[in-house]
Amino acid sequence: LASFSLQEVLDAFKLCLSENKEVYLEHYVSGWRGLVKFLNSLGSVFGFISKDAVGKIKILEGYLEGDNSSQYATVQLMVKYELDNQLVDLTKRGNHPESGCRTLLRLHRALRWLELFLERLRVSGQDEKTSVMCADAYDQSLSQHHPWVVRKAAGLAFCVLPGREAFFQVMNVGSAEQVVSVLGEAVPLISEVYQITETLYAEQQLLQLP
């Protein structure tokens, strides 16, 4: 089993953006695959989160490998293709519960959590608790889209996160200074990918897909 490296995730998100700022689905998905590796290395308490993320990654991989793969090269193409061909449930769940658009939206919302969490980690002091940073980031973002039971379960999982030092070690990029420096590179990148997707989804009124 290959171990996690933050650098690898960073590289995937770097490759995500095309010259004219389109988001390559392949690299987006591969960034998530790397993050799931990290999550899995934290232990089975996070299994329910990892399982959901893997399920969504698999759906998108299915499109990337499917007959219409060229329509899924970028998020922009995917949105246009699925909307033009009525492949998205827009107001309530119906015939397309696994559309690329709604599936990506779930990961997109989680990416905002990641951006907030990594930024908190980056500026954190030695004695700060990862569980608190994680919970704060979650409360400011993803939690708004989750029902009470999921919020409760997430809150319990955060409590068993390793401390800042152990957490930095699992990131596998070297000393604390190096972690902070890689985070300084990663956060703006993740933020840009997030913003581009957010703007696209807002323009197409896709931010509330069921």
Q: Using CB under 6 A, list all residues that contact ligand 1PX.
A: 6, 35, 38-39, 48-49, 52-53, 106, 109-110, 113, 134, 138, 142, 150, 154, 161, 171
Least Å from the CB of residue 161 to ligand 1PX: 6
Residue with smaller CB distance to ligand 1PX, 18 or 152: 152
63 phi and psi angles, rounded to 5 deg? -70, -40
Least Å from the CB of residue 20 to ligand 1PX: 28
Residue with smaller CB distance to ligand 1PX, 81 or 138: 138
Place of tokens 């990290």: 38
Tokens found for residue 168: 């930095």
Least Å from the CB of residue 164 to ligand 1PX: 12
Count Cβ atoms below 10 Å from residue 158 Cβ, excluding itself. Answer: 20
Least Å from the CB of residue 2 to ligand 1PX: 15
Task: List helix spans (H) across the chain.
Answer: 6-15, 25-41, 47-65, 75-84, 100-123, 130-139, 148-159, 164-171, 176-203
Least Å from the CB of residue 205 to ligand 1PX: 18
Tokens found for residue 189: 């990148």
Residue with smaller CB distance to ligand 1PX, 73 or 89: 89
Tokens found for residue 163: 């401390």
Residue with smaller CB distance to ligand 1PX, 76 or 119: 119
Question: What is the Cα gyration radius of the chain?
Answer: 17
Least Å from the CB of residue 134 to ligand 1PX: 5
Residue 97 exposed, middle or buried by CB count within 10 Å (0-12, 13-18, 19+): exposed
Residue with smaller CB distance to ligand 1PX, 18 or 156: 156
Give the separation between CA 97 and CA 150, rounded to whole angstroms: 20
Residue with smaller CB distance to ligand 1PX, 73 or 170: 170
Rounded to 10 degrees, what is the CA torsion of 135, 139, 143, 149? 60
